[in-house]
Structures are given as structure tokens and as C-alpha cells.
Amino acid sequence: MRIVDNIKVWGEPLENAVSQAVTCSQYGDVLGVALMADHHKGYSQPIGGVVAYRNMISPSGVGYDIACGNKAVRTNLMWDDIRERIGVIMDDIQTTISFGVGRNNPTPVEHELFDDPSWKLFDSIEGGLQQKLKGLARNQLGTVGSGNHFVDIFVEEKTDKVWIANHFGSRGFGHKVASGFLNLAAGRAFSGKAPGESMDQPPTLFNLNSEMGDMYWAAMTLAGRYAYAGRDYVIEQVLGILGASAEYTVHNHHNFAWKEQHMGEEVVVVRKGATPLAPGQLGFVGGSMGDMSVIVEGIESEENNESFRSTVHGAGRIMSRTQAAGKMNYKLRKRMGGEISEEQMQAAIRAYGVELRGAGTDESPFVYKKLQDVLMAHANTLQINHRLRPVGVAMAGSNEFDPYKD
């Protein structure tokens, strides 16, 4: 860990992300700011950025993919139980689970969260808004989206146990909540059309004691419950495809805000693309489709306290999506091509022994750092409990662009 412009930074500092972190430190009542080793530039607050506020919440810091996170499950199966049918399993996952932007679940899921009284707050903002948002949420519950969102099958090193994991958030509902409250903060209607916003604009802040802050906190919390329900549903689908049961579960957000105690104060910790990891707390951190993923556990250390008990949420990109897939827009990128070819990606995945379904070159192993290198920067804050090698990866196809990704 090093200090750059009064920002605590793990890993190699990226100037544009550090600049965003400095901006975050200058607005509101801030206890401190930290950048995890997978940090890179984001909207308003850098991805991999952690900001601790006194009695304030930042909807731009939490971001558009509210409650994006991971669920990982160790199953009762061994690799030899599924090795010969991994191709069929991945075909079933691809056809059973809805991947892609704006997709609805063919079989809408009933869930107790739709009876939560928090939904009523939307009608207090705008007439008919509760029904509109609840309908969107109900239709999309259990869909995965695209971008870097996935459903994976892993084999644990040393034990050969089969694990499954997923990565996605609150889908269109969370995106509408984020854009709606950012509209309200700017004096526009919740459902109004927002102008193009700068990646480097200062954070949007609400006082927690204000009506707006209270409403956003309730809406964010509801989106968090929704994201958990979606990840639970997808994991159950995959367990059914495998004919397996769950033995052990790790589940957490990495785009969210939490009320926590740090440095003797109660603060609101806004993590964008950062995993909470207090001593004894578990987290799943995913690498690329051609790299290991891990289950980590926070340890008691001064450096962990300095990070606001946080760690990375992934390996971190070294190449932008457009650089990898083509510098044109998403509709043209497949025709125009980018720095990473489809053939290169497929060859790398085959060499690593992964059954791949979907995914574009902007998600290939070449565009990510090695997870082990990133984790080394946090060696004094965590321990690795389980190392997982991917054997099956399912994502949306290369022709999808997802505004709900983190």
C-alpha cells in the first residue's frame, strides 16, 4: 500500500483513477478514500474505489449496477462426476438461463421481496412508478445480463470439488433506481431523460438525514435484496442442471453502501467494484475465463483497517472493451475487429481447458491482469482459502452491450 495525493492505493496507481479518487475526497464529509489493486476509471467514483462518508450516501458512487456481486457454491460433486458431460451441461446452462441486455425470464419468478412495503416509496416519488418498476423487476428476476456477467463452473485445486458461481446485479431495476435518483438530485423528474454525463463529474451526495437520502437508502437496500434473490435463483437452476446440492456458500455485493465502524466512527462506506472483507468475512473474487478465481477471507491487520476492510472484486482490466473488440461502436465492432481476434480468444480458452458459451473478445483473458498478481498487493489483508479453476464459462454473446454491467 502507498499514499498518492492523500489516497491509499494498492497495486500500481492509475493516474485517471487516482484523479477521480482525489475528486471524491474533496466533496462531502469524507473520512478517507482507498483504491484497491484492480482499480480503474469509472463513472464519478473509480471502480475499485472505496469512500467512507460521515452521514452521507453517494448514488453516483454506488453506481448504475446497484448491488452487483457474486455468489459461489461448493457442490457435493467431484470433477470426475461431470467431466465427461461438461459440454452438455454448458449447453443446458446457456439455453436454460437468460443472458443478454434487457432479457426477461421466460418464467417470471414469484418472490417475497415483491411484497416489501419499500416498493411504496416509488409512488411517493411519481404516480404509477411502483407498478412500473416492480413489473420490470419481476420480469427480469433470474436473468444474468451481459458485459462481464457470467455463470461459471469451477474445479477446486487439490480437492477436485465442483463449484459454481455467478456475477451480476440488480439488472434494469437497479439501473432505473440509480438514474432516477441522479435525475432527482439534478432537479429533473425521476423518469426524465438525463443528458450525457461526464465520467469525471464530482460525486452526487445526499445527507442520510434528508428525505432524499432516506428514500435512496431504502431503494438501494431493496435493489440489494433483489440482486441476492436473482443470484440465488440462478444458482438453484445450475444446481438442478448438475443434479447437485450445495455444501458451502459465499455471497456478497461489490457495488453498494454499508453503515460500518471505522477509526472509531460510524460511517457509510461506498464500495464501487470493491469487496467488503472484514476479519473472518468471506468473499469470492473472480479472475478471467482463463485464470483462477478464489475464495478469500479477511484477516486482522492494520493494513486491512486502512483499506476500510475491503479488497478487489476481480483481476482488473488492462485493455478497454473497445480496444479489445474494435474501436467502433458495439454494433460495428464484430465487423471491424479489434486487437484481440476471436481465433486468439478461442485458442487460449481451449488451451486452458474451458468449455465456453457466449462471450466476446472484450472478455478474453488477454484484457485482464493475472488475479494472483492483483491479490499479492493485498497479501497483508487477506488469506486465500480456496483456489478455483474454471472448466465452464457462460456469458452473453459478443453482439450484446449491457448498460447494467459494473
Residue 329: the pLDDT is: 43
**Are the beta carbons of 152 and 393 closer than 8 angstroms?**
yes
In the chain, the percentage of residues whose pLDDT exceeds 70 is 90
- Phi-psi category of residue 193: left, alpha or beta, with phi > 0 → left and psi -120 to 50 → alpha: beta
Residues contacting 156, CB < 8 A, separation 6+: 74, 162, 163, 386, 387, 388, 389
Kindly state the greatest CA–CA separation across the chain: 59
Tell me: is residue 316 an annotated ligand-binding position.
Answer: yes
Catalytic site includes residue 313 = yes
Q: pLDDT tens across 90-145, in order?
A: 999 999 998 866 667 777 788 999 999 999 999 999 999 999 999 999 999 989 97
Helix or strand or coil: residue 251? strand
Please determine, for residue 171, whether its predicted confidence score (pLDDT) is greater than 90. yes
* Residue 292 assigned ligand-binding role: no
Q: What pTM was estimated for this model as a whole? A: 0.92
**149 assigned to a ligand binding site:** yes
Catalytic residue among 39, 253, 313, 378: 313
Q: Could you tell me which of 346, 340, 344, 343 has the C-alpha nearest to residue 327? A: 340
35 burial level (CB within 10 Å; 0-12, 13-18, 19+): buried
CATH assignment of 2-397?
Answer: 3.90.1860.10
The per-residue pLDDT for range 258-314, each reduced to its tens digit, is 999 999 999 999 999 999 999 999 999 999 888 899 999 999 999 999 999 999 999
Q: Which three cell numbers stand for residue 154?
A: 469451477
Phi, psi (rounded to 5 degrees) for 377: -65, -20
How far CA 99 is from CA of 66, 70, 394, in Å, comes to: 18, 16, 9
The per-residue pLDDT for 157 is: 96
pLDDT score at 369: 83
The answer to whether the annotation marks 251 as part of a ligand binding site is: no
Instruction: Supply the pLDDT for residue 336.
Output: 40
Sequence ranges of the domains in the chain? 2-397
pLDDT of residue 39: 95
